[in-house]
Amino acid sequence: MKESQEYIIENIRDALRNDSSDSDRLVDMIVSAPRIFIYGVGRSGLIAKAFAIRLVQMGLEVFFVGETVTPIVEEKHLVIIVSHTGETMSCVQTANIVRRVGARVISITSNDHSKLASASNLVIHLKPRKDEDRKKLAPLGTLFEDATMIYFDSIVAQLMQKLGQSEGSMRKRHAIWV
């Protein structure tokens, strides 16, 4: 277990070494969007949903693409799509469709030369190493998914500052279980 933990943490650190100006652009695009739509499938979708919850807790109008209560995407809206490969058919199709209506697309992917990246206004490239140890210590998309979760969580503080939010104001929008 310890070997796997150290491997995962080291690789996430490497994957998160991206251009901070891209992260600043992502934050600015989120803050300026009238509505934000999030999308991903499988485990990438679960990470995307977790980020959507944080954005809602900051008071933003956020929807997950494909849910029954999600409105249509319109011009000037922002769509954030998470896909490890950047080739997941539904992710690429979503990006192409929403770009045609004038929405902006941000992709989070490990493949900055993918179809999804080509259909995006901004690409956040999180690329964990691919080596033989990955197959036994962090199989499939584990490194990308973990890096994406930490990446999203790491920009929350910057978003809070720009939106004038605090932990207390976010707590007021936190789910209350009856």
Provide the annotated active-site residues: 145
The per-residue DSSP string of the chain comes to -HHHHHHHHHHHHHHT---HHHHHHHHHHHHH-SSEEEEE-HHHHHHHHHHHHHHHHTT--EEETTSTT-----TT-EEEEE-SSS--HHHHHHHHHHHHTT-EEEEEES-TTSHHHHT-SEEEE------HHHHHHS-TTHHHHHHHHHHHHHHHHHHHHHHT--HHHHHTTS----
